[in-house]
Amino acid sequence: MHGTAKMMLRSQRSIAIITTSMHLPQNYLEMKPKSMDQVLSVIPNQYHKLDTTRSWDFVGLPQIAKRNLVTERDIVDDGFGPPPKKWKGSCGHFANFSGCNNKLIGAKYFKLDGLPDPADILSPVDVEGHGTHTSSTLAGNVVPNASLYGLANGTARGAVPSARVAVYKVCWASFGCSDMDILAAFDAAAHDGVDVISISIAGGSANYTTGSISIGAFHAMKKGIITVASAGNNGPSESSVSNHAPWILTVAASGIDRDFRGDVHLGSGRNITGYGVSTFNPGKVLYPLISGADAAGSNSTREDAAYCTEGSLDPAKVKGRLVYCKLDDASAGSESVVKGIGGVGAIIESDQFLDFEVSKIFMAPGTIVNDTIGEFVNEYTKSTKTPSAVIYRTHETKRAPAPFVPLFSSRGPNPGSLHILKPDIVAPGVNILAAFTPLRSLTGLKGDTQFSDFTLMSGTSMACPHIAGVAAYVKSFHPAWSPAAIKSAILTTGNNSKE
């Protein structure tokens, strides 16, 4: 082994887990020395990605559900008084972090590669909003009149509002979530005395012995701690499910009976309906409308400008207008481009995006329409010398049928063991309203001035804390139950779905 190698040793009772950090020989993974009997395995460090008012009522856990508060205070406590005697965790003083309290009783971060991340803060503080959203879904306090600028208004709460929370930050804005940080967090959580681990991180090996989450969850299980993990957002491909070890409770996403739609009125008198979240009230009856292709800049092609990519549009042609754009991965912020050069907003065409049935949040007036409606809008811009339109503020509608499994949710069969069914269960993961960080605008796009205490997010990351919350609820009534017993109780009492 090179003398410059940096290594991390994390012990789980008598078992050592070693993950490499850097500077190991390329063939070291095949060189496990026989003399090092204490080494169970050597695993290369990899980075993984991060995968409400209505959802708890929808799944049948209303605010008035029976609670075992006496036991709950011993297991997950009620947010009042000192932490439980069994608690061994801690909370330090970090940048932009106000410290812990009797609700948040633990906060740690792990950045073992030592690489600086100028887009993040070296502390447990959440700059992306993902961790804030998931933790409040699981154990958030009861907050009346929660909404996103009036949308999805209601009482926000977690499954177990009386639960205590300990956070372990392992994901970083520029790098994602590394294996060695994940393992360190599992080790710390088990040592600190948590009862349930919720981890909304996808990816990893199909081999149970080399995946950081499967290894960490296994040792947590040995200490009586159940791990609930997200299934991943790589659907609808077969065998795309992540976190499929049999000792993990793997959660796929489902939709609830709620949609967000944006109506558009064209100058021709025709009304069309799109999807997405636009919180803006129109300032005029109608705005001039132009297609992105017709607004192409001198250094751009009509094809590029049709997608409203950065630098493709002529500001003089866009100023004061709504723009009809097509959507691909490179132009996910079309309305940001339009707004940034003086435009009003965008009508965006994308069958592919709509197939995933999630509501995009816009930083300027906007809506997403299917290809058929999009082509109709495009033809309208050519049919008159003065095309015009107005995009109204998004409104909430009922969706049927529900629940449903969205395209993005990863599917089985289990790539690790075909005879073990995965995912285990589905839970609400589409357009979920929960708490959000004050350090990021709603879209994260340049020029976005929208900030909110709550926002809508979609993904199996949002589904995971729903089931982790159910696990905490079950454990509050049955504190002696094993992870397997809790998992069995949840899976055998869930409702069957036709999908």
Contact 434, 155 (CB under 8 A): no
Q: Considering only CA atoms, which of 253, 248, 133, 243 is closest in space to residue 197?
A: 248
Bridge partners, 225 (sequence order)? none
Task: Please tell me the predicted confidence (pLDDT) of residue 18.
Answer: 25
For the chain, the structural domain boundaries read 6-43, 47-256+402-493, 259-397
Q: Identify whether 77 is a catalytic site residue.
A: yes
Q: Name the active-site residue from 136, 336, 409, 461.
A: 461
Structure tokens at 194: 């948590």
pLDDT in tens, the chain (499 residues): 333 333 333 332 222 222 233 344 444 444 455 455 555 566 666 665 555 444 545 555 555 455 554 333 333 333 346 777 888 888 877 877 878 888 899 999 999 999 999 999 999 999 999 999 999 999 898 999 999 999 999 999 888 888 889 999 999 999 899 999 999 999 999 999 999 999 999 876 678 888 999 999 999 999 999 999 999 999 999 999 999 999 999 999 999 888 999 999 999 999 999 999 999 999 999 999 999 999 999 999 999 999 998 899 999 999 999 999 998 764 467 888 899 999 999 999 988 777 767 888 999 999 999 999 999 999 999 999 999 999 999 999 988 788 899 999 999 999 988 899 999 999 999 999 999 999 999 999 888 999 999 999 999 999 999 999 999 999 989 999 999 999 999 999 987 765 5
Task: Please tell me the predicted confidence (pLDDT) of residue 352.
Answer: 75
Say which residues have a Cβ less than 8 Å from residue 153's Cβ, sequence separation at least 6. Answer: 53, 145, 146, 147
Rounded distance, CA 226 to CA 468, Å? 9
Q: Name the active-site residue from 51, 77, 259, 294.
A: 77
Amino acid identity, position 254: S
Rounded distance, CA 185 to CA 175, Å? 17
Say which residues have a Cβ less than 8 Å from residue 435's Cβ, sequence separation at least 6. Answer: 132, 133, 135, 136, 140, 156, 453, 454
Q: Note the pLDDT tens digit of each residue in 474-494.
A: 998 999 999 999 999 999 998
The separation between the first and the last C-alpha atoms of the chain, rounded to the nearest angstrom, is 52
Q: Identify whether 191 is a catalytic site residue.
A: no
Rounded distance, CA 195 to CA 221, Å? 10
Which fold would CATH assign to domain 47-256+402-493? Rossmann fold (3.40.50)
Amino acid identity, position 44: P
Q: Name the active-site residue from 120, 123, 130, 240.
A: 130
Rounded distance, CA 215 to CA 486, Å? 20
Rounded distance, CA 313 to CA 298, Å? 8
Task: Please tell me the predicted confidence (pLDDT) of residue 94.
Answer: 80
**Torsion angles phi and psi, residue 20, rounded to 5:** -80, 150
Under CATH, which architecture does the 259-397 domain have? 3-Layer(bba) Sandwich (3.50)
Say which residues have a Cβ less than 8 Å from residue 366's Cβ, sequence separation at least 6. Answer: 262, 276, 278, 334, 335, 345, 346, 347, 348, 360, 391
* pTM of the full structure: 0.84
Instruction: Give 245's DSSP letter.
Output: -
Contact 244, 415 (CB under 8 A): yes
Task: Please tell me the predicted confidence (pLDDT) of residue 249.
Answer: 98
Strand-pair category, 322-326 with 287-291: parallel
Q: Do domains 47-256+402-493 and 259-397 have the same CATH topology?
A: no
Q: Identify whether 2 is a catalytic site residue.
A: no
